[in-house]
Every structure is written in C-alpha cells, then in structure tokens.
Amino acid sequence: MTFPQQNLTILGSTGSIGVSTLNVVARHPQQYQVFALTANQRVAELAQQCQQFRPRYAVLGTESAAQQLRSLVSSDVEVLWGEEGLALVAAHKMANTVMAAIVGAAGLIPTLAAVKAGKKVLLANKESLVMAGQLFMDVVHESKAILLPIDSEHNAIFQCLPVDYSGREQAGVRRLLLSASGGPFRTTPLSDLTAMTPNQACAHPNWSMGRKISVDSATMMNKGLELIEASWLFTVDAKDIDIVIHPQSIIHSLVEYIDGSVLAQLGNPDMRTPIAHALAWPQRIDSGVSSLDLIAIANLNFEAPDEQRFPALSLARTAAVTRGDAPAALNAANEVAVEAFLNGAIGFTHIADIVDRVMQSWPLGEPRELGAVQEADRRARAMATQAISQQA
C-alpha cells in the first residue's frame, strides 16, 4: 500500500503522547517526515529527539531554553521559542499534519493555529476543545481542517460511527457510552481519599500518562472533560452521553444505535493504537501494539460511576449542559487545583472542592470570540487561586 508522505508537527513531543507518536512514526520512516518538534522546558530530551528525527524546526518555551538547545543540535534545525514559535510550526505551509499534544490550556492557541490553517489535526489536547467549544468547531468547519480524535474513547467512537457521519439523528445514533477505568482510587475507602498523595494519584492501573491527566483520571474530571469533548466532536447533547466504568480498559467506548445495535472498539490500553489510527486514517498502519488476548483477559466488567466518590463528574456534566464559558471556567479551575495538589498545597479531595467553589460563584457568560474564552480562563484561575489560599 502506498501513502502520500506526511510532514508532521508534534506540539508537545516530549510528553507521553508526543513520545508515543514518535514511536509510531519511527516504524514508518517512508510515510512520515518529522517537520517540527516542540517542548516547554525539557531541552535535553528535545535535543535527543532532534538528533533522531532531524526536524526542520524545534520550539521551546523560553528564549534561554532555545539558546541551550541551539548549542546541542545541528545548525540544520531552526530553534524558535514561545507562542510565536508554536504558532509558526502549527500553521506552516510545509506541515500537513499536526499532533496537538500540549497539556492544558497552553495548547489552545497553537492547536487553533493548526485548525485555522486547515491542517489534518490529531487532537490529544482535549482542554482546547473543552475551553473554546463552539468557536473551535466553527473554525474547523470554516477552514475545512480534518479533526481526528486521539483520546482513546473519542477515537473509539469515531471508529464506531459511519464514515460519512454528519450528526446523530442522520446516523441513527441513540447514545454514546464513554468508558472509564475508574482510576487508581475506584475501590479505595472513601475515608482514605483525603490522604492520597500525588504519586498514588498518578499510579494509574492501566495507562501510563502525564501527571496532569493522571490526576484528572483519579478524580474522574478527565471523564468529565471527555464528556464535553465528545459533545462537541460528535454533535451530541450531554444527556445522550453515558459514562460506564470498565476497570480493564479494553473496550475504549461504544455507540448505541436506535435499532439496539451497540458497536464498540476494543484493544490493549496503549495510546499508539489511536495515534496510528489517526496518523494513517482512512488507511491503517502497524502501531507496535501487541494482539489483544481475550482468553488471557477472561473478564470484562462494568459498573456505574459513584457520584459521591467522583464529585468532579457531576461538576463537569453541569458545565457541559450549561455551555457558554462554564466549561472554560471548569477547566481553568481544575488546572489550578491539580497543580496545587501536585505541589502539595492542597489534599486530593480539595481538587473537586475548589472547582465546585469556583463554579458556584461563576458569572456565566457567552464567549463570542477567543479573547472572551481567554478572559474566562484568566478569571477562573484567579478565583481558584483565591479559593486555594482560603483553604490552606
């Protein structure tokens, strides 16, 4: 099978998704040329990636980090820094595919730059879609960008929908079922949750991921963000999206149709599968992921999420239904609270408390332009920071 060669920009190449993407790309050197790699601060790791993949550009978060990288890589690699550098490599006419794998709100502007430029965008950075919702999807439709989900659940749903999917009614979709592992604290006694440490929260039973999304999985805010992400990606009301806990993480999500058919996508829990799927779409390539051994797995279990254990879920569902700038506020408050938890400033159960406090007093707005989304993000961060200082 022959493929047209893809020139790939990886935003966040030193992260968990970035490294998995390079692992898949390295298996197919004829099909994927690395055009640009970006990181925030990890100069040594980015230098090593530049040596191996020889990109045209490398981008770092600060000027001083960029200076350091210049002394470590060949002069063929142009080293840039900051938001301008990110926007340049995300929208560059030589790059046709962009992996959006920066974590958090920092991914919004570069991801949107890639979408505006009409690229094939592989979306891992769910926070950008959660924040900008309608505005983000409007740009996708205007620019004719191809948006392919990397989040394993959304990638699974994408694979279970018809190829010409244009909305749930036309496709006969009754509901979406997002699967969730339940994270490391699914069975921890509720009274012990307050004492859980960052390392315990980041020790996910099935997936190896960056620290922010690992904490989000422990609170299940990750599933809440994914509910909002799915409602925008697939034009489905939040009320038609259910969450089912499936501790083995083998079924990555399901689509139920009005005739009672339920289609699911299964596979070992390894992000190289959705990454390879999106890179090659509509074709298929080898990802390096081993065959699924159902006999060895033997059992697939399901349970309802416990709203008392995971209060972040109902906070996110409320924001998903409210829309406006509520999801942006929820996301910003959560980012601040997760960082405070990782830094030891607040306890595990305070994460949802802080987000709840911000959302309780959030003055709902309807963002009509990107500046309003960024302003909502800034205000919610300030409110969360204040709530944390009162908590401490």
The CB-of-278 to Mg ion minimum distance in angstroms stands at: 14
The CB-of-73 to Mg ion minimum distance in angstroms stands at: 33
Residues 114-153 that bind Mg ion (CB under 5 A): 151-153
Question: Which DSSP helix (H) or strand (E) runs through 330?
Answer: helix 326-342
Tell me the sheet residues that pair with 165: none
Say how far apart CA 159 and CA 33 lie, in whole Å. Answer: 25
Q: If binding is defined by CB under 6 A, does position 15 make contact with ligand NAD?
A: yes
Side by side, the strands of the sheet bearing 57-60 are 78-81, 57-60, 32-38, 6-11, 97-100, 120-123, 146-149
Say how far apart CA 145 and CA 157 lie, in whole Å. Answer: 19
Structure tokens at 93: 């006419």
Q: If binding is defined by CB under 6 A, does position 82 make contact with ligand NAD?
A: no
Q: If binding is defined by CB under 6 A, does position 328 make contact with ligand NAD?
A: no
Q: Which does 213 bind (CB under 5 to 8 A by kind): Mg ion, ligand NAD, none?
A: ligand NAD
Place of tokens 């993949």: 53
Q: If binding is defined by CB under 6 A, does position 148 make contact with ligand NAD?
A: no
CB 352 within 8 A of CB 312: yes
Beta strands in the chain (DSSP E): 6-11, 32-38, 57-60, 78-81, 97-100, 120-123, 146-149, 173-180, 241-245, 251-257, 262-266
Among positions 33, 56, 61, 278, the unique one binding ligand NAD when judged by CB under 6 A: 61
**Nearest residue to Mg ion, by Cβ distance, number only:** 151
- Comparing C-alpha atoms, which of 81, 75, 76 is closest to residue 38? 81
The CB-of-255 to ligand NAD minimum distance in angstroms stands at: 19
Q: If binding is defined by CB under 6 A, does position 311 make contact with ligand NAD?
A: no
Among positions 114, 124, 285, 380, the unique one binding ligand NAD when judged by CB under 6 A: 124
Could you tell me which stretch among 13-21, 228-236, 237-245, 287-295 binds ligand NAD (CB under 6 A)?
Answer: 13-21
Tell me the sheet residues that pair with 9: 36, 98
Residues 203-222 that bind ligand NAD (CB under 6 A): 207, 209-210, 212-213
Could you tell me which stretch among 16-24, 276-284, 320-328, 379-387 binds ligand NAD (CB under 6 A)?
Answer: 16-24
Q: Based on CB atoms, which residue is closest to ligand NAD, 12 or 367?
A: 12
Q: Which residues of this chain interact with Mg ion, rule CB under 5 A?
A: 151-153
Residues that bind ligand NAD (CB under 6 A): 12-18, 39-40, 42, 61, 101-103, 106, 124-127, 151, 207, 209-210, 212-213, 271
